[in-house]
Amino acid sequence: MSDQKPILEFRDINTHYGAVHILKEVNLAIYPGEMVCLLGGNASGKSTTLKTLLGMVTPTSGEVVLDGEVVNDKPTSYRVERGITMVPENRRLFKRLSVLENLQLGAYLRTDKDGVERDLERIYSMFPRVKERLSQKAGTLSGGEQQMVAMGRALMADPRVLLMDEPSMGLAPSLVRTNFELIQQIHEEGIAIFMVEQNANMALSLADRGWVLQTGRVVLDDTADALLANPELRKSYLGEA
Amino acid sequence: MTAAVRAKGASRTKVDWFLLFMRVALLSLIAIGLLAFFAQQLDPNNAFARWRHGGDAAHTLTGDQYKGLVVTGLSQGAMYGLIALGYSMVYGVLGFINFAHGEVFMVGGFTGFIMANKLDEAGYWEGGAFIPAVLFTILVCTLVSMATAVIMERVAYRPLRGSPRLIPLITSIGVSFFIQNAVILLFGPGAKGYPSNPDWLQQKRSLLGLVEIEGIKIVVIVVAALSMYALWYFVERTRTGKAMRAVSEDKEIASLMGINVNRTIVTTFAVGGAMAGIAGILWGLLFRSVIATTGFLPGIKAFTAAVVGGIGNLGGAMAGGVALGGAESLAPLMLLEPLGVEGASQLRDAVAFTLLILVLLIKPTGLFGERLSSEDRA
Amino acid sequence: MKKLLTLLALLLSFSMVAAACGSDSDSESDEGSATTEADAGDSDDSTAHHGDGSLGEVRVEAGSEVQIRSLNAITGDVAFLGIPNQRGVEFAIEDYGQIKGFGISMGTGLDDLCSADGGQAAAQTIVADEQVIGVIGTSCSGAATAAAPLISEANMVMISGSNTSPALTSDQQGNAGENYNVGYYRTAHNDLFQGAAMAKFVYEELGLTTAAAIHDGDPYTEGLATAFANAFTELGGEVTTITGVAKEDTDMVPVLTEVAAAEPAALFFPIFQPAGDFVADQAPGVSGLENTVLLAADGLLVDGFLELEQSEGMHFSGPDVRFGENTNQGTGKTANDFLAAYEATHGEAPSAPFWGHSYDATTLLLDAIDAASYMDGDTLVIDRAGVREHLNMVRNYSGIIGTINCDDFGDCGSQRITIIKHDSAADIETSKSNVVFEYAP
């Protein structure tokens, strides 16, 4: 792992919303092809971490590094073009647009038509249900179907790193497992996954490594197995008394 | 949530009864008016007509007069629709009503006035040169209105991005006054006349032997329809159009897709401005007169049309425009005159705004508006 | 936001409906409340003058000037009408000279904006100055409706050179108009006569028996349309429709269709530009109006309208402006003298004909001031009641507009109306003097 260069890195990142200090000296690194997860309670700074990675929030100090280049002042589109994308919390599909249009927007910045066509086919084979509903408005789909479209839309950007914000949030319990299988499947295609998840048990069982964020500070940084075994973590996040 | 459920289930409040009364009253007025209209078309001397017209028989409309009203309503409505698109698009993307949009339309009309007179002086406003001259004028008007809208966005609205939506709304009223007075300063307060159109454009021509229309009205309807089609194609079929719709739904996710939100907003203003510019020059060609306040009333009417059609919905804006134009032109004579209202034509503005009230009472989201869930608008 | 929007839209539409339906007629002519604000003059004055001092007196100290005012539409769309009016006042003051050795000042020309709001605002400014005796104005009847009550209540007088609405004076049958106020006079004609002239012309000269009229809700246009309709009916004709347009309307097809339903032989629309442009342009295209004779009044008898192609073939009524060698008895000037002086000073001919009426109005006022004033030592004392008394008694006064007689309700005009036929938009000067019908009561 350490012989490779990280795709995306946080170096001593601090962010503020007005006077409120959100992220405090955060260091992260995401390497090609790995699956990592970020755990933390409410208001611990998880969402801000994602937004900072994508350039929707500008850090007050520290560096966001993409492929060795400092990208603090580059817009989101710059990062998307270079293979970073996200499946947002609650999916946030364009509900009034058709399923196909949602997928096409995922590939908004791509110019390789053939590649886009190929990726569309790949998504159809991955989610046959999606193919049946291409012309339907995305808002009319069921929760599970929407989750598929959201993932498909992200995959259409041909990402190297896929950020996932609470992928199992708002899904029926029966769907949660399927959902993680899908994530696993995407991961197996060689896409690095950075997952922010409440369901720490499930997330850590899939991930290679993980971080724990507490009031904006990284308090734990270890392999998934080690984290699963960490008694303190088990107590506070894994729901064990 | 629970409160809302309870309100629905519980007995009606006084306000509900009032609204119900308004709905019933307006709808029965329309029903009675229509009945009276048909009755007097069949028998101008029926008892009701004699009663409502002070003992005299009513005057019936001939088929040609009736068609003339439809045509004028349609051409007027087409222009309302073109302007309404701009209101609706900006509302869709930024969530506020750009009240200065009527001035963008007026700027188009004034540009047309300048162009047409210059071309007329040079002898291009007649004969074989007329068609290219008009096309060129339409192009210039479109561009000038487009530029006006874009500059407006850049100077007045972008600095306010992120502030409560009431603030750009109030600002837009200021922008409207500014543009109106700037035009008065530049061109004076009087009416400005367009040169005469060639005869072939003013003459009535038969359309499939069904209806006689002045050439210029055909031009207005056709150009408006083409523009609307082009806009529909742009929004529904092109990459930029998709981006625009995406931005209007969710700016954050749109930027996550790599869409440049600022540029898309500028595009929205530009396209809306272009439509208003086309409406402006069509208005000028049809009525051959513009004045600094030309944008006010059509602007308000177009806003009404956008709300009637369902604000934020482009098809609705077009349909709302045509519905409003038609109602304005037909209702005074088909509903009010048969009821014995004197000087019914004076009430066309009242008709337009009553239509708005009626639609808001019966379908508050407008004819084609979608009911947005709270999640959508959170 | 959605709620806010709905509310906004509802509010907006309600107000629009209200505005569209509303035909405001706020007239308060409470003559009873005339108050004496100046100390009623000591009754032992020896100098003979008009007036009993009941409305107060104005004292002009030696070295000061007698104050009158001009209130005309000098900006905006109707400036073509108001500017010559104001200049008429200026020339009359200059030609008149002095009153008992005192100079006359009209101050700065005030603007009535041709609207009720403008008239009211300007009148408030005027009545705030207690030295002012009288006002020459307004240009527009709508402005006079709001200004006259204030002027009247302040015991001043107001003489208009171009108001023509019957409501401002009387119905000529001895009944005060709904907007009549004591102290209001005018040298312009009463539109009852213009309406009668047009009716007579259509019925007797053109031989047409059906007619319709369109106004725009303005007191001037509505008054004239109604006067025409009443006179036409009285002559035996049938008035098929009287209806209105809004001043901002552009698409006239619906209103013209309403008119066309009854197929009138003549259509009289005494309105203004730009609405008049659209009526004249669109009428021939409406089925049923192809052969209808179009007629308008002095509101459209302006160069901007006559130059339009669509105005060709129309007839226009208006005051008889063939002033020629008519002489104003107060200054001894003729209309031709005036026109020469006007051209020399302003480099153009007057853009509307009511300069003559304004000139005569001014000399009438100055004569009245002269007759109602006396010297108290070095001070000129003007009796406000006397000014009105004098104006009420004006008979056979020779003015630029002809012979002036004031009736009990302030109508002083010569009431001579002419109708012209407009043949060519390329030669409007010929049209203006192409009189085809003359009318005098």
What pLDDT digit, counting tens, does each position of C369-425 carry?
999 999 999 999 999 999 999 999 999 999 999 999 999 999 999 899 999 999 998
Instruction: Tell me which residues of chain A, numbers 128 to 167, contact chain B at a CB-CB cutoff of 8 Å.
Output: 153, 157
Q: Is the dihedral of CA B106, B111, B117, B119 positive or negative?
A: negative
Q: Which of C14, C257, C262 sits opposite B69 (nearest CB)?
A: C257
CATH label of the domain that carries residue C272? 3.40.50.2300
With pLDDT > 70 as the criterion, what percentage of chain A qualifies?
A: 96
Q: Of C387, C351, C426, nearest to C57 (Cα)?
A: C387
Q: What is the mean pLDDT of residues C315-328?
A: 91
Sheet of C373-376, strands arranged across: C57-60, C379-383, C373-376
Is there a contact between A36 and A209 (Cβ–Cβ < 8 Å)? yes
* Token pair 């990284």: residue: A218
How confident is the model over B194-251, as pLDDT tens digits?
Answer: 888 888 888 887 777 777 788 899 999 999 999 999 999 999 999 999 999 999 999 9
pLDDT at A143: 83
Is residue B307 less than 8 Å (CB to CB) from chain C? Answer: yes
Q: Which residues of A touch B246 (CB under 8 A)?
A: 94, 97, 105
- DSSP letter, residue C99: B
pLDDT band at residue B374, thresholds of 50, 70 and 90?
A: very low
Total domains present in chain A: 1
Count CB-CB contacts under 10 A for residue C364: 27
Q: Which residues of B touch C115 (CB under 8 A)?
A: none
Is there a contact between C211 and C267 (Cβ–Cβ < 8 Å)? yes
Give the contacts of C321 (CB within 8 A, at least 6 positions apart): C353, C356, C418
Three-state secondary-structure class, residue C241: strand
* Interface probe with A: pick from B238, B239, B257, B374, most Cβ of A within 10 Å: B257
Report how far residue B276's alpha carbon sits from residue B85's, in angstroms, rounded to the nearest whole number. 8
Q: What is the mean pLDDT of residues C121-139?
A: 95
Q: How far is B355 from chain C (nearest CA, A)?
A: 9
Contact C243 B190 (CB under 8 A): no
pLDDT at C5: 58
Q: Which residues of A touch B250 (CB under 8 A)?
A: 92, 94
The DSSP bridge partners found for residue B150 are none
Q: How far is C21 from chain B (nearest CA, A)?
A: 7
Contact B346 C243 (CB under 8 A): yes
Classify the complex by whether its ipTM is higher than 0.85, answering yes or no. Answer: yes
Q: Which of B288, B352, B357 sits opposite C10 (nearest CB)?
A: B357
Q: Determine which of A52-66, B7-21, C13-27 has the lowest per-residue pLDDT on average.
A: C13-27
- Does residue C285 sit in the same domain as residue C428? yes
Q: Which of B243, B249, B252 sits opposite A96 (nearest CB)?
A: B249
CATH label of the domain that carries residue A154? 3.40.50.300
Q: Which of B59, B293, B364 sits opposite C261 (nearest CB)?
A: B59
With pLDDT > 90 as the criterion, what percentage of chain A qualifies?
A: 52
Q: Which residues of A touch B239 (CB under 8 A)?
A: 108
Tokens of B174: 């200021």
Beta strands C210-215 and C184-186: pairing type? unpaired
Residue A59 lies in a domain: no
pLDDT band at residue A40, thresholds of 50, 70 and 90?
A: confident
- Does residue C283 sit in the same domain as residue C402? no
Q: Which residues of C touch B307 (CB under 8 A)?
A: 5, 9
Is there a contact between A12 and A62 (Cβ–Cβ < 8 Å)? yes
Residue C13 lies in a domain: no
Q: Of C244, A202, C8, nearest to B165 (Cα)?
A: C8
- Does residue C298 sit in the same domain as residue C177? no
Is residue B67 less than 8 Å (CB to CB) from chain A? Answer: no
Question: What is the H or E stretch that residue C399 is in?
Answer: strand C397-399
> What do you get for the CA distance between the two ends of chain A, in Å?
35
Contact A95 B376 (CB under 8 A): yes
In this complex, the chains that touch C, judged by 3 or more CB pairs closer than 8 A, are B
CA dihedral A70, A76, A81, A82 (to 10 degrees): 30
**For the ranges B16-20, B244-248, B366-370, the one whose mean pLDDT is highest:** B244-248
pLDDT band at residue B376, thresholds of 50, 70 and 90?
A: very low
Q: Which residues of C touch B349 (CB under 8 A)?
A: 16-17, 19-20, 246
Three-state secondary-structure class, residue A54: helix
Q: Which residues of B touch A170 (CB under 8 A)?
A: none
- Does residue C206 sit in the same domain as residue C114? no
The DSSP bridge partners found for residue C421 are C315
pLDDT band at residue B89, thresholds of 50, 70 and 90?
A: very high
Listed in sequence order, the DSSP H helices in C74-156 are: 79-96, 116-127, 141-153
Tokens of A235: 């107590």
Q: Which of B246, B252, B370 sits opposite A105 (nearest CB)?
A: B246
Q: Is the dihedral of CA C155, C159, C162, C165 positive or negative?
A: positive
* Interface probe with B: pick from A50, A80, A108, A161, most Cβ of B within 10 Å: A108
Is there a contact between C71 and C146 (Cβ–Cβ < 8 Å)? no
pLDDT band at residue C155, thresholds of 50, 70 and 90?
A: very high
- Does residue C146 sit in the same domain as residue C196? no
pLDDT at C39: 40
Is there a contact between C267 and C300 (Cβ–Cβ < 8 Å)? no
pLDDT above 60 (res C331):
yes
Q: Determine which of B350-354, C181-185, C272-276 has the lowest per-residue pLDDT on average.
A: C272-276
pLDDT band at residue C36, thresholds of 50, 70 and 90?
A: very low
- Does residue C333 sit in the same domain as residue C435? no
pLDDT at A237: 65
Contact A97 B257 (CB under 8 A): no
Contact B196 C244 (CB under 8 A): no
3-state secondary structure chain B: CHHHHHHHHCCCCHHHHHHHHHHHHHHHHHHHHHHHHHHHHHCCCCHHHHHHCCCCCCCCCCHHHHHHHHHHHHHHHHHHHHHHHHHHHHHHHHCCCCCCHHHHHHHHHHHHHHHHHHHHHCCCCCHHHHHHHHHHHHHHHHHHHHHHHHHHHHHHHHHHCCCCCHHHHHHHHHHHHHHHHHHHHHHCCCCEECCCCCHHHHCEEEECCCEEEEHHHHHHHHHHHHHHHHHHHHHHHCHHHHHHHHHHHCHHHHHHCCCCHHHHHHHHHHHHHHHHHHHHHHHHHHHCEECCCCCHHHHHHHHHHHHHHCCCCHHHHHHHHHHHHHHHHHHHHHHHCCCCCCCHHHHHHHHHHHHHHHHHHHCCCCCCCCCCCCCCCC
> What do you get for the CA distance between the two ends of chain C, in Å?
64
**For the ranges C3-7, C8-12, C234-238, the one whose mean pLDDT is highest:** C234-238
The DSSP bridge partners found for residue B289 are B193
Contact B242 A76 (CB under 8 A): no
Contact B258 A97 (CB under 8 A): no
pLDDT above 50 (res B3):
no
Report how far residue B89's alpha carbon sits from residue B269's, in angstroms, rounded to the nearest whole number. 8
Nearest CA in chain B to C274: B191
The DSSP bridge partners found for residue B192 are B290
Q: Of C167, C127, C162, nearest to C147 (Cα)?
A: C127
- Does residue C66 sit in the same domain as residue C169? yes
CA dihedral C92, C94, C98, C102 (to 10 degrees): 110
pLDDT band at residue B375, thresholds of 50, 70 and 90?
A: very low
Q: What is the mean pLDDT of residues A204-212?
A: 90
In this complex, the chains that touch B, judged by 3 or more CB pairs closer than 8 A, are A, C
Tokens of A94: 């364009």
Give the pTM. 0.81
Tokens of B278: 């086309």
- DSSP letter, residue C308: S
Q: Determine which of A127-136, B311-320, C43-52, C335-344 has the lowest per-residue pLDDT on average.
A: C43-52
Q: What is the mean pLDDT of residues B12-35?
A: 88
Report how far residue A196's alpha carbon sits from residue B272's, in angstroms, rounded to the nearest whole number. 41
Cα three-residue angle C306-C311-C317, rounded to 5 degrees: 75
Residue C169 sits in which domain range?
Answer: 55-188+322-410
**For the ranges B7-21, B177-191, C76-90, C327-341, the one whose mean pLDDT is highest:** C327-341
Q: How many CA atoms lie within 13 A of A99 on its CB side?
A: 23
Q: Per CATH, the architecture of B69-322 is what?
A: Orthogonal Bundle (1.10)
| Maximal CA-CA distance, chain A | 54
Instruction: Tell me which residues of chain B, numbers 165 to 184, contact chain C at a CB-CB cutoff of 8 Å.
Output: 165-166
pLDDT at C17: 53
Is residue B162 less than 8 Å (CB to CB) from chain A? Answer: no
Is residue B321 less than 8 Å (CB to CB) from chain C? Answer: no
pLDDT above 90 (res A70):
yes
Question: What is the H or E stretch that residue A161 is in?
Answer: strand A161-165
Q: How many CA atoms lie within 13 A of B201 on its CB side?
A: 20
Question: What is the H or E stretch that residue C362 is in?
Answer: helix C355-371
pLDDT band at residue C13, thresholds of 50, 70 and 90?
A: low
Residue C16 lies in a domain: no
Contact C19 B349 (CB under 8 A): yes
Is there a contact between B344 and C245 (Cβ–Cβ < 8 Å)? no
Total domains present in chain C: 2
Count CB-CB contacts under 10 A for residue C270: 32
- Does residue C299 sit in the same domain as residue C424? yes
Q: Which of C2, C274, C309 sits opposite B291 (nearest CB)?
A: C274
Q: Which residues of B touch A76 (CB under 8 A)?
A: 255-256, 258
Contact B377 C2 (CB under 8 A): yes
Nearest CA in chain B to A54: B256
Residue A184 sits in which domain range?
Answer: 34-44+84-236
Contact A97 B245 (CB under 8 A): yes
Q: Of B359, B206, B194, B196, nearest to B284 (Cα)?
A: B194
Touching, A vs C (3+ Cβ pairs under 8 A)? no
Q: Of A8, A25, A23, nearest to A71 (Cα)?
A: A8
Report how far residue C233's alpha carbon sits from residue B39's, in angstroms, rounded to the nearest whole number. 29
Between B241 and C40, the higher pLDDT residue = B241
Contact B69 C254 (CB under 8 A): yes
Is residue B246 less than 8 Å (CB to CB) from chain A? Answer: yes
Is residue B346 less than 8 Å (CB to CB) from chain C? Answer: yes
pLDDT above 90 (res B347):
no
Three-state secondary-structure class, residue C425: coil
Contact C258 B345 (CB under 8 A): yes
Three-state secondary-structure class, residue A214: strand
Report how far residue B157's alpha carbon sits from residue B165's, in angstroms, rounded to the nearest whole number. 10
Nearest CA in chain C to B345: C255
pLDDT at B4: 46
Three-state secondary-structure class, residue C299: coil
Cα three-residue angle B73-B79-B85, rounded to 5 degrees: 125
Is there a contact between C320 and C189 (Cβ–Cβ < 8 Å)? no
Exposure of B218 by Cβ count < 10 A (0-12 exposed, 13-18 middle, 19+ buried)?
Answer: middle
- Does residue C253 sit in the same domain as residue C331? no
Residue C25 lies in a domain: no
Is residue A57 less than 8 Å (CB to CB) from chain B? Answer: no
Distances B47 to A135, B29, B57, B173, B338 between C-alpha atoms, Å = 57, 18, 9, 50, 12
How confident is the model over B271-292, as pLDDT tens digits?
Answer: 999 999 999 999 999 998 888 8
Q: How far is B31 from chain A (nearest CA, A)?
A: 36
Give the contacts of C439 (CB within 8 A, at least 6 positions apart): C193, C196, C197, C200, C201, C416, C417, C418, C419
Is residue B242 less than 8 Å (CB to CB) from chain A? Answer: yes
* Mean pLDDT value across chain C: 88
- Does residue C213 sit in the same domain as residue C273? yes
pLDDT at A238: 58
pLDDT above 80 (res C26):
no
- Does residue C366 sit in the same domain as residue C380? yes
